[in-house]
Amino acid sequence: MNKRVNTFLVALLVATIAVLPAMIGSFGTALMNDIGVSTLVVLGLVMLTGTGGATSFGQAAFVGIAAYATGWLTTTQDLSPWLGLLFALFLTGAAALAIGMLTLHLGGHYLPLSTIAWGLSIPLLFGNIAALGSNTGLANIPPLQIGPWSLMEAKTIYYLIWPVVGLAFLFSYNLMNSRAGRAIRSLRGGATLLGSVGADAYRVRLWLFVTAAQLAAIAGWLYAHMNRFVSPSAFNLRASIEYLLMAIAGGVGHLAGALFGSGVVLLLKNKVQDALQILSSNGARLEIIVFGIVFILLLHFARGGAMGLIARWSARRKTPSAPALADDGTPPLPRRPLPTRGSEILRVEHALKRFGGLVAVNDVSFTVNAGEIVGLIGPNGAGKSTLFNLVTGAAPVSGGTIAFCGRDITHLPQRRIARLGMARTFQHVNLRPNMSVLDSVALGAHARGSAGMLRGGLSLDRREEHQIMAEAWRQLARVGLAERAGERAGSLPLGWQRILEIARALAADPILLVLDEPAAGLRKQEKAALAELLRGLRSEGITILIVEHDMDFVMKLVDRLVVMNFGSMLLQDSPAVVRADPRVQSAYLGSVL
Ligand code: ADP
Ligand code: MG
């Protein structure tokens, strides 16, 4: 789908929504209002669960906190619903922040389980507070009022709900395509990638969680003033599961899936309820069974949801165009000063790493000076990648010390080390296959920007985003990947995915580049081009620490070699000396050298 078709579809959708109430009567309009309100909640879930990978079975509880907040303020305190909105946002945000800080550290299945806990307990709490009407809830909540217009009827509040839905989509779309959005899209698949670009996965997840709760809060506020009545049952676990079902039905990977999923599920629910009422007097219970079956079928046959199917049909491919890099007036991102050539920038002393009984890195010491290329070689399993993980902070040391640019980094978290100017690539490619090549590189510049989720969502990050994108283009062009900028990172051949990782590392403006087998999977000519690139970087003053198995490649490239075998360092010296050393030859059984 190209941009024109997209614009046309959005315009068509907006026009349809605008004229719909005149065509579908007040019952239909009320149903559309429910769909709109649900869409807000599900939009948050699509980002949190679909994109961010944190499953929440408790989203209805946030809707409830907001609905009760405004309900209480406007009935018992007689205050304006607009103050109710602020109060609802504040209370829901605070609750999400507190719950998030308590639970988002939990790994694996503990997080979804804990969401069930709050999804159950918060509605129970409402039912037990007398000031909130206990189980009967709060009635006589005032309708919303905009100037002289009272939004009492379905037909009038419709014209508040749907513009709000539109704005929420705009915010979410901007957010997902911002600096914070790239971090959100990288959350799945481990925290190491985010750490390596200087981002804090926990904080990204926490603020995403709060953002999703804020969308639920707006939904809760609209809900309270639309129905003018709140009771605990509307926000129970079943409601939460329904939201999740909507997100899955629509397709958790696509924002538009929120609208789709809410629409399909609520319309179906309406039909199913009608049908079941005829079949049995136990309609409500049967409904759960029917939905359960739909849920399982969806998971089985259409994991991508409705939007996933649509995306597959249209097989869209956006190719972003290179922004005017030179003469548009925006200065490039500032660069950090490089240390004087020849000064020591990395000092590893007695580094030790144990995995249970196995000593993967055993008392390794070496130094790297600014502006040189140091190769780390040794047979498979020698401990090279593990040593890289220690140096970059991706894994904690069991002993020894590591200093970078004169600073002790032994116990610093990975992201802090990255921010000091160390960038890396991974032996086992660490990309998000569905991100575009360009975005994958832009992620590398994360630590050079500062725009958060709010700035991103409100599109107040344009200048910085432009700078980051210009930088990403520059690095892509440098490694020879500019032509594939718009493709999925996962669609590149494996060898080129490694090159893509180099571009991502370069986008961080590193002092030290740590490359783990960058030439693996490349053809001869591509290897030559890579060697040329690395020499160019060295002449610019960037320091490189590299693991590579292709001896021909390494020997011609590096200034110095560190040789490891069985976790220990055999020696460090110039390529010529290393090549002649009998210990090295026997370590390799004389085969490769
Ligand atoms: P290289 O990169 O030189 O091929 P590695 O650093 O990957 O070697 O591995 C060194 C040794 O440490 C190997 O024996 C490997 O099996 C072991 N090892 C690496 N990572 C882990 C881990 N996370 N847990 C347990 N053992 C590991
Ligand atoms: Mg390795």
Instruction: Please report, for the domain that includes residue 523, its CATH number.
Output: 3.40.50.300
Domain boundary residue among 174, 205, 236? 236
Residues sharing a CB contact under 8 Å with residue 550, sequence separation 6 or more, in sequence order: 519, 527
Q: What count of other Cβ atoms lies within 10 Å of the Cβ of residue 330?
A: 15
Say if residue 227 is in the same domain as residue 359: no
Domain boundary residue among 205, 236, 267?
Answer: 236
Atom 5 of ligand 1 has which residue's CA nearest to it?
383
Q: Say what the pLDDT of residue 269 is.
A: 83
Name the residue at shortest CA distance from atom 21 of ligand 1: 355
Which pLDDT value is given to residue 589?
55
Q: Is the CB of 382 under 6 A from ligand 1?
A: yes
Structural domain count, the chain: 2
User: Could you give the C-alpha distances from 27 to 14, 158, 590, in angstroms and in order?
Assistant: 20, 12, 82
Q: Is residue 93 part of a domain?
A: yes
Contact 564, 555 (CB under 8 A): no
Establish if 316 belongs to a structural domain: no
Does a structural domain hold residue 263? no
Per-residue model confidence (pLDDT) at position 60: 96
Query: Which ligand minimizes its atom distance to the CA of 520?
Result: 2
310 part of a folded domain: no
Interior CA angle at 186 toward 185 and 188, to 5°? 95
pLDDT of the residue at 317: 41
Residues 354 and 231 reside in one and the same domain: no
Cα of 315 to ligand 1 centre, how many Å? 40
Calpha distance 215→210 (Å, rounded) = 9
Model's pTM, two decimal places? 0.91
Mean pLDDT for each 10-residue chunk of the chain (593 residues)?
A: 77 90 91 96 94 90 97 94 97 96 82 89 93 92 90 92 96 95 93 96 95 98 97 93 88 84 87 71 66 71 62 46 60 91 96 95 96 94 96 97 97 97 96 94 97 95 93 94 93 94 97 96 93 95 95 93 93 91 76 48
Q: Is the CB of 358 under 6 A from ligand 1?
A: yes
Q: Among 273, 180, 209, which residue's Cα sits nearest to residue 59?
A: 209
Determine if ligand 1 sits within 6 Å of the CB of residue 563: no
Q: How many distinct helices (H) and strands (E) make up the chain?
A: 22, 12
| Domain extent at residue 367 | 344-592
What pLDDT is recorded for position 273? 73
Q: How far away, in angstroms, is 532 Cα from ligand 2 center?
A: 23
Q: Given this model, what pLDDT does residue 308 score? A: 61
Residue 299 sits at the vertex; the CA angle it makes with 491 and 265, to the nearest 5 degrees, is 115
Kindly list the distances between the CA atom of residue 292 and the CA atoms of 105, 237, 407, 540, 590, in Å, as whole numbers in the listed order. Answer: 30, 14, 56, 61, 63
In a domain, 392, yes or no: yes
Question: 420 CB under 6 A from ligand 1?
Answer: no
Per the domain annotation, does 320 fall within a domain?
Answer: no
CA 425 to chain centre: 19
Please tell me the number of the ligand nearest to residue 563's CA: 1
Considering the domain boundaries, does residue 33 fall inside one? yes
Would you say residue 334 lies in a domain?
no
| Ligand 2 mean position, distance from CA 380 (Å) | 7
Which of 215, 236, 257 lies at the terminal end of a domain, its last residue?
Answer: 236
